[in-house]
């Protein structure tokens, strides 16, 4: 089981959630107005009035094939947006031992 964490500019949210729904990922959370400083390739968005803001999308994926698919889709999004670094996704994932809602 994987936990996938993605931070991106808010304008990418609809694209991400549409893709997740398309591949039948229904366990995800969106955190609005995530302050982020990912200044390696892009502008650090700190939710001030001069810039836009970031969001965070987290996912719990029990299927290893689906988690690889998601990570590949996210990598392709970054390749498509390489000329616009501010639209690139910042993604990390790790193994998750437990996920329950009881």
pLDDT of residue 91: 95
Task: Tell me the domain boundaries of the chain.
Answer: 2-59+82-95
Q: Would you state the pLDDT for residue 85?
A: 82
Per run of 10 residues, the mean pLDDT along the chain (length 102 residues) is 92 93 92 68 54 85 94 96 86 91 82
Q: How many CA atoms are closer than 13 Å to the CA of 47, on its beta-carbon side?
A: 7
pLDDT computed for residue 60 by the predictor:
94
- In this predicted structure, what is the pLDDT of residue 71? 97
CA atoms within 13 A on the CB side of 1: 9
3-class SS at 101?
Answer: coil
pLDDT in tens, 50-78: 456 788 999 999 999 999 999 999 999 99
Cβ–Cβ < 8 Å for 4, 56: no
Going through the chain in order, the beta strands assigned E by DSSP cover 2-9, 28-34, 54-61, 90-95
Closest-CA residue to 48 (of 59, 37, 58): 37
pLDDT of residue 9: 87
């Amino acid at each position: 089981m994987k936990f996938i964490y993605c931070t991106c500019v808010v304008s990418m949210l609809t694209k991400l959630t549409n893709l997740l729904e398309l591949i039948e990922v229904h366990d995800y959370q969106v955190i609005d107005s995530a302050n982020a400083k990912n200044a390696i390739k892009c502008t650090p968005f700190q939710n001030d009035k001069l810039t836009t803001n970031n969001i965070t999308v987290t996912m719990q994926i029990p299927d290893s094939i689906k988690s690889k698919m998601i990570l590949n889709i996210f990598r392709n999004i970054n390749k498509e947006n390489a000329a616009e670094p501010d639209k690139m996704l910042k993604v990390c994932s790790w193994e998750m031992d437990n996920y329950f809602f009881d």
